[in-house]
Amino acid sequence: MEKDLLSKIAIVTGGASGIGEAAALLYADHGAKVIVSDVNEKKGNKVVEKIKGKSGEAYFIKADVSDAGQCKNLVDKTIEKYGSVDICFNNAGISGESNAIADMSIEGWNKMIATNLSSVFYCMKYQIAQMLKQGSGTIVNNSSILGSVGFANAAAYVAAKHGVIGLTQTSAVEYSKNGIRVNAIGPGFINTPLLTEAGIDDAAKNGLIQLHPIGRLGEAGEVAELVVWLSSDKASFITGSYYAVDGGYLAQ
Ligand code: NAI
């Protein structure tokens, strides 16, 4: 594999599972040193061991991204450990409460906005402050297909993911002249533990498959390919964009 990210330091939030894990492994395959960050220390350290098992370099830093102080600490600790922050994949997220708006709890709304939206602002705030000192950096934020269309019983998730695209566009406009690129991705439904946590059984999964013209759900590794490419110099003229990786979901 091409080691085009050699000497780059990459932070992956939610790196212990699913899309984050796949991206962490692929960044390492491309030669980056990877900070795997998550609330789940045990699973996060397993990903670090997997990377080391393939002769890669990785380190776990615990951070709950819904807390601004922990996002700052994540950036500070990364600099302490490796000296720079070159690539960030702001990916951590939850599926949250499944209810129509009239039945949605205020707590469920607040938790979703904190975890899936404010987290991206907190992470970018501290990541960009460091990237400004370096004069370079690339950020990929994980939105969703639901960052551009609605979905029943997921108002808070949909609102948070739309917000991630707005944050991405605004930060790209603010910092493109400083050598910082920021993009968002919009995965369709991907086979990860998040779907199981959302209570999606086999019957519901079949229903979701029908929504994807390609006739199946996506795999985390297929999303990671886009993330790593957007993070690399191959995407040097791309900033403020939103890329679907969705088996045709949004094309309908
Ligand atoms: P996953 O459940 O496999 O992984 C999410 C990871 O985030 C877990 O390791 C979890 O511990 C961590 N996490 C949760 N809350 C956190 C917090 N407050 N602070 C730090 N880490 C936290 O889920 P998956 O599917 O890999 O999701 C990753 C991202 O992809 C999420 O933002 C999700 O919304 C997005 N996404 C997922 C899709 C899917 O169908 N699986 C589709 C579109 C977007």
Mean pLDDT of 151-162: 98
Structure tokens at 130: 């460091």
Mean pLDDT of 38-66: 98
User: Has residue 99 got a pLDDT over 90?
Assistant: yes
Distance (Å) from CA 92 to ligand 1 centroid = 5
From the CB of 76, is ligand 1 less than 6 Å away?
A: no
Q: What local confidence, expressed as pLDDT, does residue 196 receive?
A: 83
Question: How far apart are the C-alpha atoms of 200 and 13, rounded to whole Å?
Answer: 24
Q: Is 157 marked active-site?
A: yes
User: Has residue 134 got a pLDDT over 90?
Assistant: yes
Q: What local confidence, expressed as pLDDT, does residue 192 receive?
A: 96
Which of 157, 175, 243, 249 is catalytic? The answer is 157
Question: How far apart are the C-alpha atoms of 188 and 230, rounded to whole Å?
Answer: 17
Q: What local confidence, expressed as pLDDT, does residue 19 receive?
A: 98
| Buried-state track 151-166, b at ≥16 Cβ within 10 A, e below 16 | eeebbbbbbbbbbbbe
Task: Determine the residue of 11, 12, 17 to mutate for testing ligand 1's pocket, defined as the one with the most ligand atoms within 8 A of the Cβ atom.
Answer: 17
User: Has residue 198 got a pLDDT over 90?
Assistant: no
User: Has residue 1 got a pLDDT over 90?
Assistant: no
From the CB of 19, is ligand 1 less than 6 Å away?
A: yes
